[in-house]
């Protein structure tokens, strides 16, 4: 095993933004752990696919993971209502782990208080949210600023995953 990658899950997640990184990280040899507010709960996606949380945030010590991925859809709006989910993102960032958010996943970066002063991208509909949280918005398929990696939408997934994997190799 190459290490451990956490991918967050909640209701109304964007199918591709969860499953593409999930399987891409597995393909690269990482143990992938789905973390949701409730361990064992099944969360439906925007289009009806289901993903089960392997554990809840209390089951993860941020110092023991290599990366944390936040998919988009409207799931991040539900995730950020759970303080332990937000704390996990903040703790992973502060531990120097790769923290990657795509699409509406940027909402979690804002809620975790880690967007200020960072170059980030996101789905255009939440650009104002990230700018108001202190981020410098860039309209690119992938933006890396330190240990933060962000992308805009499903069509950016190849660049998003390539950048995550490259950051994990450093």
Rounded to 5 degrees, φ, ψ at 38 are -125, 120
Rounded to 5 degrees, φ, ψ at 155 are -65, -15
For 38, the token pair is 């409730």
Nearest to residue 22, comparing CAs of 67, 60, 63, 58?
67
Nearest to residue 149, comparing CAs of 117, 119, 104, 116?
119
Told to judge if 103 belongs to the known catalytic residues of this protein, a careful annotator would answer: yes
CA–CA distance, 132 with 33 (Å, rounded to integer): 31
102 near 150, Cβ under 8 Å? yes
Rounded to 5 degrees, φ, ψ at 91 are -65, -40
Helix (H, G, I), strand (E, B) or coil at 30: strand
126 near 150, Cβ under 8 Å? no
From 78, 103, 122, 161, active-site residue: 103
From 47, 78, 104, 161, active-site residue: 104
Residues annotated as catalytic (active site), given as ranges = 103-104
């Amino acid at each position: 095993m190459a290490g451990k990658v956490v991918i967050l899950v909640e209701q109304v997640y964007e199918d591709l933004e969860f499953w593409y990184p999930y399987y891409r990280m597995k393909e690269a040899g990482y143990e992938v752990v789905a973390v949701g507010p409730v361990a064992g709960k099944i969360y439906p996606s925007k289009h009806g696919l289901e993903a089960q949380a392997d554990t809840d945030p209390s089951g993860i010590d941020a110092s023991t993971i290599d990366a944390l991925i936040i998919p988009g859809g409207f799931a991040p709006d539900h995730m950020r209502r759970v303080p332990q989910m937000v704390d996990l993102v903040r703790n992973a960032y502060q531990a120097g782990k790769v923290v990657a958010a795509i699409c509406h996943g940027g909402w979690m970066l804002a809620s975790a208080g880690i967007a200020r002063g960072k170059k980030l991208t996101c789905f255009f509909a939440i650009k104002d949210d990230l700018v108001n949280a202190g981020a410098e918005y860039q309209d690119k398929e992938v933006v890396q600023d330190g240990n933060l990696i962000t992308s805009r939408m499903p069509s950016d997934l190849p660049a998003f995953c390539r950048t995550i994997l490259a950051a994990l190799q450093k």
